[in-house]
Amino acid sequence: MFKVGILGATGMVGQKFVQLLSRHPWFKVTTLMASERRIGKIYGEEVDWIVSSDVPKDVFDVEMTPMDPKNCDADIVFSALPSNVAREVEPRFAREGFVVASNASAFRMEDDVPLVIPEVNPDHLSLIDVQRVRRGWDGFIVTNPNCTAIMLTISLKPLMDIGLRSVRVATMQALSGAGYPGVPSLAIIDNIIPFIRGEEEKVEVEPLKILGKLENDRVVPADIDISASCHRVPVIDGHLEAVWVKFDRKVEIEDAVEAFKSLKPLDLPTSPESVIVVRSEIDRPQPRFDRDEGDGMSVVVGRIKKVGDNEIRYLVLGHNTVRGAAGASILNAELMIKEGYIQK
């Protein structure tokens, strides 16, 4: 078993880390780190537990500690910190030899920091060696993408092989993506908020790095054009995205379906049986019915329609706090163990 710590353990994503790790076959939670006002308090008594009915018993009585490497008894640190805090805290742990698997956006676009979806760009983990040399760190930071970008990028990866050239996406994003307590009730009930600060920029840029190629110790971004419009909707969990894709050749619906089904899962504990599940029903995917596909680690594609000789439209859905956040970091850590970047 690998010992793990969680930075920002009391927030929405931190709680999802705790929930998923509490039943993980490779990992044992040993350190829960939080803000100064929670230091010394008992996790189960202090946290407003919102991800399920009960705080896992194995962490209920854990005393929360400062976000300091000296207080962390762990092999791997999972970060659920806000970006501004992660920018300061995560390097402290990397310098001291910790593996930091981060859900924060602070270092995603740094040239020497891997931004990884294991089924899409596992080779980008080789940037770890570049990072350690450049920064003089004993440890390292590996990031997973923005939740919305993850669902989109997983669906785009297999389409690259049939000539993908441009992407237009309109997102319908769940409330849990805003954290807890998130969006005020009177702002979202009977409403859709057509702006999420910083989201469109992440969705337009992060997939280009993930789908790019490694050259001379850096990633050359993929040569595709992405334009996004992002919206908050009154759904608890599950980001739904309407995607229009153009190709450099004539493409049929069957080509897209075959491509989606070709993306293979990895042999890792958190891997779903199917990375992309294709639904044929006219009214699917829907967040309520499809967000938990593959224990929340699959993405679901549906309503695939040809809208031009070289253009297809489809919907893609994923669980934003599982595949889009905590589950993504955990899968990255599993891959790093499999590839030998993390050893006992």
Q: What is the CA radius of gyration of the chain?
A: 20
Residue 158 to residue 38: CA distance in whole angstroms: 45
2-145+325-338 and 147-319, same CATH topology: no
The residue among 283, 288, 290 whose CA lies nearest residue 317 is 290
Give the pLDDT confidence of 16-56 residue by residue, as tens digits.
999 999 999 999 999 999 888 899 999 999 888 888 778 99
- At 91 the three-state DSSP class reads helix
Residue 244 near residue 165 (C-beta atoms within 8 A)? no
CA–CA separation, 237 and 137 (whole Å): 37
How many whole angstroms separate alpha carbon 85 and alpha carbon 88?
6
Out of 147, 230, 231, 319, which one is annotated catalytic? 147
| Residue 50 pLDDT | 85
pLDDT at 181 (0 to 100): 84
What are 89's two structure tokens?
């805290």
Residue range 147-319 forms a domain whose CATH class is alpha beta
Based on the residue annotation, tell me whether 147 is a catalytic residue of this protein. yes
> In CATH, what number does 2-145+325-338 get?
3.40.50.720
Q: Torsion-angle region of residue 198: left (phi > 0), alpha (psi -120 to 50) or beta? A: left
Report how far residue 91's alpha carbon sits from residue 198's, in angstroms, rounded to the nearest whole number.
Answer: 23
Beta strand pairing call for 218-220 and 311-318 = unpaired
Residue 164, pLDDT score: 98
Q: What angle do CA 86, 183, 228 make, to 5 degrees?
A: 70
pLDDT in tens, the chain (344 residues): 999 999 999 999 999 999 999 999 999 999 999 888 899 999 999 888 888 778 999 999 999 999 999 989 999 999 999 999 999 999 999 999 999 999 999 999 999 999 999 999 999 999 999 999 999 999 999 999 999 999 999 999 999 999 999 999 999 999 999 998 889 999 999 999 999 999 999 999 999 999 999 999 999 999 999 999 999 999 999 999 999 999 999 999 999 999 999 999 999 999 999 999 999 999 999 999 999 999 999 999 999 999 999 999 999 999 999 999 999 999 999 999 999 999 97
Set 72, 124, 230, 239: catalytic member: 239
CB distance 124 to 337 below 8 Å: no
- What would the two tokens of residue 219 be? 């990633």
Surface-to-core class of residue 282, CB atoms within 10 Å of its CB (0-12 exposed, 13-18 middle, 19+ buried): exposed
Domain ranges (residues) in the chain: 2-145+325-338, 147-319
* 120-164 pLDDT, tens digit each: 999 999 999 999 999 999 999 999 999 999 999 999 999 999 999
Active site residue 230: no
Residue in this structure with the two tokens 């990072």, named with its chain if needed: 131
Residues 145, 150, 155, 159: what is their CA dihedral angle, to the nearest 10 degrees? -10
Assigned token pair, 309: 């000789």
Q: Return the H-helix or E-strand segment holding 240.
A: strand 239-247
